[in-house]
Chain A
Amino acid sequence: MNQISTFERIVRGLLIALVLLFFLFPIFWILLMSFQTNEQILRIPPSLFFEPTLQNYVALLTGRLQTAAGNLDIAFMRNLGNSLLLSTSSVLLALALGVPAAYAFARYKFRLGESIAFTLLSFRFAPPLLVLLPLSLFFRQLHLTDTYIGLIWVYQLICLPLILWIVRGYFEDISPDIEHAYRISGHGWWKTFRKIAIPLARPGIAAAGLLAFIFAWNNFIFALILASASKQPVTVGALAFVTASGIQYGQIAAAIVLSVTPTLLLALYAQRYLVEGLSLGAVKG
């Protein structure tokens, strides 16, 4: 056992505190801003002491805000709902399609298997703007423009390759012997997949699902081009506070806090899966 001296412990603690301060300070500052008025935020010099106000949150929740240019209608809660709906549905669909596909790519060799897997990965390489214009033409013909179903479909460009490739690596790391033993006992492949492969790969699936959720949540351009204002996610909605008559810093901060909360909670909940899942998939035995 290595003995850690008190001095080393203090230095380590200080360094950790410094790193934490460096990374967490902007988030902390945004949290403070969300409880201030625009005037308090723009004070020179800025101050840590202020009389907190809930007006930013009230404005976001009620959808009405008094500004320099009169009343501002805010559709932020609707944007938040859209983000939740689009990200959750997209990840669920991508898991339903991607996990069996990842299993197939990991366990079976078939013609053009690698080419298909790589093609799916290449969706992640394509610059979204390049894909979007032809896609918007197809969407119009298929009457998918401005529909949630159309958007969830397009979001598969983000979620599916991610889930497929992370989970595939994970399946490959699990020894097939356990599955073989189970099959020798007379079980079919579907049952083996459900009862053995999926439970063993669960941390990897959770990690991939969480990452896909974060990427889907942060997407901006798909809904902007393919849908109307009523179906925009928070990433577009938050920009509404930047107007010609001024920037509503307080509302932006409150919007950031509200929009980060779901992903933060999910990430905290699934943190152990995330680290375990990613690191296990990364090293081959």
Chain B
Amino acid sequence: MYEKGRDLAAAFVRKQVSRRELIQRASQLGLSVAATSFFVNQAMSQAMAADFDWQKHKGTNLKLLLNKHPYADAMIANLDTFKSMTGMNVSYDIFPEDVYFDKVTAALSSGSSEYDAFMTGAYMTWTYGPAGWIEDLNEYIQDSDLTNPNYNWDDVLPGLRASTAWNGVPGGELGSADAKQWCIPWGYELNNVSYNKPMFDKVGVKPPKNLPEMVETAAKLTKDLGGPYGVGVRGSRSWATIHPGFLSGYSNYGQRDFSVSDGKLKAAMNTKESKAYHELWVKMIQESGPKNWSTYTWYQVGTDLGAGASAMIFDADILGYFMNGGDNKEKGNIHYAPFAANPAASAPTPNVWIWSLALSSFSGQKEAAWYFMQWASSVEHDLFGARKMDFVNPVRASVWKDEEFRNRIDKSYPGYLEQHDVSAPGAKIYFTAQPLFFDLTTQWAETLQKMVAKEVPVDEGLDQLAASVDKQLKDAGLGG
């Protein structure tokens, strides 16, 4: 039976047998789901190993630095596949997200060789890359001796490939021809609307399609629901307040954070259109946002949606995804919709957060570490995570076409596939890459707080922000 099971899985991986046939024949053979899945995984690894010497670094011990996240959990669940395919041993340190980047920064800035590869966000590589702490992965991806022929780098969504590549020049376009690939996209989130369907039905409203509609719908929900508030967005004094819904809507109006001319940056947050956008955003929070909005981070926005304290969020799609499961009160009630803030825009332009893998320049075994990274970002692992674990959103186009993954999502997360399919072509990082990113974006959030608290009018606040940002850019030698 073992031989037959193995042959059946191999035929499935070679696409000679359909998924339906696989299930049918496996049950005829008396194979359990777990056993079938084991055979399929084994066959996939063997198929992967066929054209490439995965055993080249056999016996090597790798150490990873990971953030406590469902993406890391999915990798750990499948790690034995990598170990048996390569003969390498992999250990890892997992730290909670609250302290994770402190740990990464301390390890890299002290030149520690303890960790070979680690999880990072693309924004962080704007610091790590120019500092010489991480490797340019283009050199690895393009080397056929180091990268397996089935890696299919082009399968990774183009917006994500570009967003993780930068030439190191302040204001330089992400993904330009001379850009260095600082990290490999692993899993990502884009920003759209997640909403509570029963609450929307109760009030008789449809998910908003643009920002003016969102302001109106949120106000009606707040008024008519008598308890829950209309819309959840982040508001803490942090760069993370700007990057999700806020910047996604902002870029949809064609607005940028900076203008770049002759290599010099200039603040662009105080244009007429930007002021109009800020006015709407501030009004929406004042009328229909959470009471303690200025303390709101990812966690509060999500928790409120899951607990039924808010009717919708304009934030990461995967935040809405997580809140539709587990022991959340509103489990099963959350639906999803694409959102183009600008009524004149043809499609959404969501800003993205990309959990990525980076290779430490201080690693003593970079090649072996790259073997791990290409496995962890391979189609095979991406498929495993997307089908069986919460490895959403996958970064590969082929995985988004996978029938089993789509069926799983479609069944339990209504509208999720559609919001992604509509938005993915425009999904990328809309910030300008520059070394003062965290400081200046945090200041932007601070100004937003003052506007919502009515300490400063929107118009005046943005002029003050732009003047302050320009001064800081000039002091740092980045502005004109």
Could you tell me which A residues sit within 8 Å of B by CB distance?
Answer: 37-39, 42-44, 67-70, 132-133, 136-137, 140, 145-146, 220-221, 224-225, 228-230, 232, 236, 239-240, 242-247
Contact = CB atoms under 8 A, between A and B. Distances in A.
Given A70-B389, A229-B94, A232-B95, 8 more contacts: A44-B308, A69-B326, A133-B106, A146-B114, A224-B99, A224-B103, A228-B93, A246-B328
A236 B99 contact: yes
Nearest to A44: B309
Interface string B379-396: 000000000011000000
A235 to B, nearest CB: 10
Interface in B91-112: 93-99, 102-103, 106, 109-112
A68 B327 contact: yes
Contacts, number: 105
The 10 closest A-B pairs by CB, nearest first: A68-B326, A239-B96, A42-B307, A229-B93, A245-B322, A69-B70, A136-B110, A225-B106, A68-B325, A240-B96
Contacts of A230: 93
Nearest to B304: A42
Contacts of A137: 110-111
Interface of B: 68-70, 73, 93-99, 102-103, 106, 109-112, 114, 227, 298-299, 302-303, 306-309, 318-319, 322-323, 325-329, 389-390
Nearest to A247: B299
B370 to A, nearest CB: 23
Contacts of B325: 68-69
B95 A236 contact: yes
Given A38-B327, A242-B97, A247 B303 contact: yes
A69 B392 CA distance: 11
Contacts of A232: 95
A37 to B, nearest CB: 6
Given A42-B307, A136-B112, A68 B99 contact: no
23 contacts: A38-B326, A39-B327, A67-B327, A69-B326, A70-B73, A133-B110, A136-B106, A136-B110, A140-B112, A221-B102, A224-B95, A224-B106, A225-B103, A229-B94, A232-B95, A239-B99, A240-B96, A244-B70, A244-B97, A244-B319, A246-B303, A246-B323, A247-B303
Nearest to B298: A244
Contacts of B112: 136, 140, 145
B106 to A, nearest CB: 5
Given A70-B389, A133-B106, A242-B96, A145 B114 contact: yes
Nearest to B115: A228
Contacts of B103: 224-225
Contacts of A133: 106, 109-110
A19 to B, nearest CB: 27
Contacts of A239: 96, 98-99
A47 to B, nearest CB: 14
B110 A140 contact: yes
B389 A42 contact: no
A69 B73 contact: yes
A245 to B, nearest CB: 4
A37 B307 CA distance: 13
Nearest to A243: B68
Nearest to B91: A228
A224 B308 CA distance: 36
A69 B329 CA distance: 15
Nearest to B95: A229
Contacts of B111: 137
A42 B308 CA distance: 9
B227 A44 contact: yes
A243 B99 contact: no
A246 B390 contact: no
Contacts of B69: 243-244
A141 to B, nearest CB: 11
A229 B106 CA distance: 14
B63 to A, nearest CB: 9
Contacts of B327: 37-39, 67-68
B110 to A, nearest CB: 4
A242 B99 contact: no
B68 A240 contact: yes
B322 A244 contact: yes
